Amino acid sequence: MPSKPVKTQKFGFSYLPNSPMQKRLSEVLAAGKAKVILLNCGIRGGKTTSAIAELIKQHYVYHKKPKLAWVVSPTFPMSTAPENKFVELCQSKEGSLILAKRASERAYYLRPTKDAPNQPFKVEFKTATEPDRLRGFSVGFVIMDEGAQMSQEVFQILQGRVMDNDGTIIIPTTPNGKNWVYHDVYLRSLDDDRYVVINGRTDDNTSLPPDVVKTLREDWARKGERLAAQELDAQFVDFKGRVFDHFTAASHVFDERDIPADLPVYCGIDWGYNDPFVCVWCVKWDGVWIVVDEYYKTRGLLKEHANRILQHPLHSRVKRYWADPSGLQNRREFREMGITTLPARRPDKETGPRWPAVRARLMNKLFAIRKAAPWDQQRSVPGLLFFDTVQNGKKEFETLCYDRTVEITDQGPKVFDRDGQAVDNKNATERLEDRNNHVIDSLGYCLFSEERVAMPAPFVSGEAKLGKEVKDTRTKEELHKEEMAHLLRPKDIFKKKPRNYVDPFDTLSGLT
């Protein structure tokens, strides 16, 4: 920015705190004692708007120094919402507060105040996908938007950025289980007055129409009471018995990037109307499965879904569409609309309620292994990862739990239901909750059908008592032979067949 003085501007602002959460945040910042403020709010509770408004006030009301603020988001797509809100709030009744913008830095300069006419206030928008890039700066004010979706490492790095300036960090977020936000901020606030927690429910946002709040309640209630308590009431819910305990957003979600043009694309489809219809697009790049995009739509017609899939940029590269095999009529209608789907494959002798568990074991195995990153051979990544466009999938993998879990106690094994209550005289199972799992199902259809190998079960059905694992006495040769027996079809399945060939796995065969 030029060093010569620029025209200062009177601070004019259309933002007025209206909810209890927003009023409390203004009071805490005005007092100036809090150094970490957790805005623990339900979705659409107004937390990001409040934090951005208070950021602007740091310059025009509190004259914060150094005149540098950061807004950090988990991923690039998620950073557009706070940036757009910032630009909107800077349009004051006195004119725009923005003096200049540097698009290459994603930086904005706010007009200086009379006490420092040569010092515009700089606001930078950043992402937390590569935490080391946040090191080495001196910042006066930081917003960690949706901080619960970032890693503990990012929080610790940002604490170092404001330490020299006695700066402040605001964390506007919806909880994500009992992760570092709960342990490092919420619990610490109980005996450290530098840490403040301000709670807010979705219903507290008076700018939301009542019918919108009602619809949100109904939609989340179908996904489960615990998830609704977290997403709408901002409660710290312990998702006991998580199915995908290897999965973390920090390790398994990456910035979207170009994939080689010669890689085939594979899709999984889960039919739904009241429950969402879901389609996921996947590639296998140097041995790493990547979920590159998702389509997630509730209460839509099949024709609408088909049009969206046909118009998707990757449609011409899709090699196979795998779908829930129970939706025969849906598959027939899709074929008439120009999309041929195959029924997702089941493992041998594993139909019914155990099939989701078998698919989950495959995905957990992929989550746990490490491979060289296809785009950077010096970097290690999981065997299954997601681009940051797959937001619904990320939430499902973070929260899906087993219907019942087993804990070994001094009195022997005990079973607990999904709410953490002890269940007497019930056998432990691998049964998964049948809700909030639609991306998981569609991805499972695709991955299991392509891999065609069932993972060995940790318990032998009918031979293991509760909590007691059967000792595996099989030799390596026997294990290899058994694994080979799980191959559902020969690898030449997709070679050209005679014209009158009937595929026994394709339930559309013979239909006109």
The band of 363, judged by pLDDT with boundaries at 50, 70 and 90, is: very high
Tokens of 395: 């939430």
- With respect to residue 83, please indicate whether it lies within any of the assigned structural domains: yes
- With respect to residue 3, please indicate whether it lies within any of the assigned structural domains: no
- How many alpha carbons lie under 13 Å from residue 183 in its C-beta half-sphere? 8
Question: Whose CA is closest to 387, among 299, 291, 512?
Answer: 291
Range picked from 34-38, 204-208, 234-238, 460-464 for highest mean pLDDT: 34-38
104 shares its domain with 74: yes
pLDDT at 198 over 60: yes
Range picked from 193-202, 247-256, 424-433, 461-470 for highest mean pLDDT: 193-202
171 shares its domain with 311: no
216 shares its domain with 256: no
Q: How far apart are CA 266 and CA 446, in angstroms?
A: 7
pLDDT at 474: 54
Range picked from 29-33, 262-266, 462-466 for highest mean pLDDT: 262-266
246 phi and psi, to 5 degrees?
-80, -15
- Residue at which a domain ends, from 445, 460, 475: 460
- With respect to residue 195, please indicate whether it lies within any of the assigned structural domains: yes
The band of 117, judged by pLDDT with boundaries at 50, 70 and 90, is: confident
Question: Whose CA is closest to 291, among 281, 304, 305?
Answer: 281
When pLDDT is averaged across residues 115-119 and rounded to a whole number, the result is 82
Q: How far apart are CA 20 and CA 165, in angstroms?
A: 29
pLDDT at 495: 44
223 shares its domain with 279: no
| Domain containing residue 62: CATH number | 3.40.50.300
377 shares its domain with 429: yes
When pLDDT is averaged across residues 263-274 and rounded to a whole number, the result is 95
pLDDT at 491 over 80: no
- Residue at which a domain ends, from 169, 197, 231: 231
pLDDT at 490: 37
343 shares its domain with 213: no
Domain count of the fold of the chain:
2
Which one is predicted more confidently, 200 or 310?
310
The band of 442, judged by pLDDT with boundaries at 50, 70 and 90, is: very high
When pLDDT is averaged across residues 178-183 and rounded to a whole number, the result is 88
pLDDT at 297: 94
The band of 161, judged by pLDDT with boundaries at 50, 70 and 90, is: very high
pLDDT at 477: 63
When pLDDT is averaged across residues 433-461 and rounded to a whole number, the result is 73
β pairing state of 404-409 and 412-417: antiparallel
| Mean pLDDT, the chain, integer | 81
391 phi and psi, to 5 degrees?
-75, -40
Torsion from C-alpha of 159, 239, 393, 283, nearest 10 degrees: 90
pLDDT at 493: 36
77 shares its domain with 209: yes
Q: Tokens 């019942």 map to which residue?
A: 404
Q: Are 169 and 159 in contact (CB under 8 A)?
A: yes
Which one is predicted more confidently, 282 or 178?
282
Min mean pLDDT across 171-185, 300-314, 327-341, 498-512 is at 498-512
- With respect to residue 491, please indicate whether it lies within any of the assigned structural domains: no
Q: How far apart are CA 276 and CA 262, in angstroms?
A: 31
- With respect to residue 240, please indicate whether it lies within any of the assigned structural domains: no
Which one is predicted more confidently, 226 or 57?
57
417 membership: H or E segment, kind and range: strand 412-417
Q: How far apart are CA 360 and CA 366, in angstroms?
A: 10
Q: Output the CA–CA distances (angstroms, integers) from residue 5 to 68, 118, 124, 143, 459, in the order listed.
A: 18, 5, 22, 29, 74
Tokens of 207: 């700018």
Taken in order 28, 34, 39, 40, the sign of the CA dihedral is negative
**Residue 143, helix vs strand vs coil:** strand
Q: How far apart are CA 266 and CA 318, in angstroms?
A: 6
pLDDT at 180 over 60: yes
- With respect to residue 79, please indicate whether it lies within any of the assigned structural domains: yes
pLDDT at 475 over 50: yes
Q: What is the reported pTM?
A: 0.62
Question: Whose CA is closest to 175, among 110, 239, 129?
Answer: 239
When pLDDT is averaged across residues 475-489 and rounded to a whole number, the result is 50
Q: How far apart are CA 456 and CA 452, in angstroms?
A: 13
227 shares its domain with 253: no
pLDDT at 203: 84
Min mean pLDDT across 250-259, 280-289, 328-337 is at 250-259
| Domain containing residue 311: CATH number | 3.30.420.280
pLDDT at 294 over 50: yes
Look up the domain containing 211 and give its range: 20-231
pLDDT at 466: 32
- With respect to residue 351, please indicate whether it lies within any of the assigned structural domains: yes
Min mean pLDDT across 57-71, 76-90, 172-186, 481-495 is at 481-495
The band of 342, judged by pLDDT with boundaries at 50, 70 and 90, is: very high
259 shares its domain with 383: yes
- With respect to residue 4, please indicate whether it lies within any of the assigned structural domains: no
pLDDT at 206: 78
pLDDT at 462 over 50: no
Q: How far apart are CA 204 and CA 20, in angstroms?
A: 8
Q: Are 378 and 462 in contact (CB under 8 A)?
A: no
pLDDT at 440: 95
The band of 386, judged by pLDDT with boundaries at 50, 70 and 90, is: very high
Min mean pLDDT across 162-176, 217-231, 252-266, 366-380 is at 217-231
Contacts of 166 (CB under 8 A, 6+ apart): 35
pLDDT at 510 over 80: no
257 shares its domain with 219: no
408 shares its domain with 438: yes
Question: Whose CA is closest to 363, among 450, 474, 240?
Answer: 450
Min mean pLDDT across 59-63, 238-242, 344-348 is at 238-242
Q: How far apart are CA 382 and CA 368, in angstroms?
A: 6
pLDDT at 382: 92
- Residue at which a domain ends, from 231, 261, 286: 231
pLDDT at 476: 57
282 shares its domain with 425: yes
- How many alpha carbons lie under 13 Å from residue 117 in its C-beta half-sphere? 6
